Amino acid sequence: MNRRRWLSGALAAGMASLVSACGEASWRLSDQARRMGEGLTRRAQRLLIPADALAPTYSRAEISPDFRPNGSIAPAASDYRALNADGFAGYRLVIDGLVERPLSLSLAELRARPARTQITKHDCVEGWTSIGEWTGVRLATLLDEAGLKPEARYIVFHCFDALDQREDGERYYESIDLIDARHPQTILAYDMNGETLPVPHGAPLRLRVERQLGYKHAKYIRRIEAVESFAHLGRGKGGYWEDRGYEWYAGI
């Protein structure tokens, strides 16, 4: 753990200046230097850390009484508001793209699958952390049901919210590789701290990908897509904030 933090910290400090907030990032280095730093960090971490190494977990007593909501906290999109008005009874999670058997699952169907609960620390790039308990279904379970095609390399999360709250605004999206997608702690959470996931934290379904920084944890998920490349999505960098300067690999 210490060695991992030291190594990635040293690499990141040497190659790139870290972003300061969940706002437009200001970079001092060229795009090329940034990509080199990111690639080094990712490869060093993948070499040092076994694919299934677990993020630290905490006790109930350590749960933050005031877990901070961040980014979108109440999506304005009309499709989201219509689902929310009905307690998400009409919600379906779509899993498609490079899969053998596309899925469309209600919340009851997601809850009927084996559940996993974990108490973990959320680490936002802005510099704050909060500890929370998350319950949900493992992403690996759903990917196995859908059957990934051999060409699939990344999993993309399409969300309901646009940060500018406009009906036609660019909606949040994120992507992870198959190592993180299959990690035992990578879950689609529908409960937080033992209760139904509240809207500010991403109702009805949000990602927990515990070895990555906060912005990778997509909230308000409407669709999960398996892709070979994310170059055709958004501005091509694999996520809403990545398109605005954040690193795609945000391992911690």
The footprint of ligand MTE (CB under 6 A) covers 22, 68-72, 122, 124, 159, 161, 163, 172, 200-202, 214-215, 217-220
Chain centroid offset of residue 194 CA? 20
Nearer to Mo ion, 83 or 192 (CB): 192
Give CA–CA dist 179/251, Å, rounded. 12
Which of 29/73 has CB closer to ligand MTE? 73
Phi, psi dihedrals of residue 154, rounded to the nearest 5°: -135, 155
- 245, interface contact from Mo ion, ligand MTE, none, CB < 5-8 Å by kind: none
Cis ω for the linkage preceding 204 (within 30 of 0) = yes
Under rule CB under 5 A, how many of the chain's residues touch Mo ion? 4
Q: Which does 172 bind (CB under 5 to 8 A by kind): ligand MTE, Mo ion, none?
A: ligand MTE
When asked if residue 215 is in the footprint of Mo ion (CB under 5 A), the reply is: yes
152 binds, among Mo ion, ligand MTE, none (CB under 5 to 8 A by kind): none
The least CB distance from residue 118 to Mo ion, in Å, is 19
Q: How far is CA 57 from CA 1, 70, 176, 189, in A?
A: 13, 22, 21, 16
We find the least distance from the C-beta atom of residue 12 to Mo ion, in angstroms, to be 17
* Token pair belonging to 26: 């200001």
Nearer to ligand MTE, 25 or 148 (CB): 25
Strands (E), 25-143: 93-97, 103-105, 116-123, 129-138
Task: Write b or e for each residue in 200-236: b if 16 or more Cβ atoms lie within 10 A of its Cβ, otherwise e.
Answer: bbbbbbbbbbbbbbbbbbbbbbbbbbbbeebeebbee
Q: For ligand MTE, give the closer residue by CB, 45 or 70.
A: 70
By beta-carbon proximity to ligand MTE, the closer residue of 161 and 247 is: 161
CB of 161 to ligand MTE, least distance (A): 5
Residues that bind Mo ion (CB under 5 A): 22, 124, 214-215
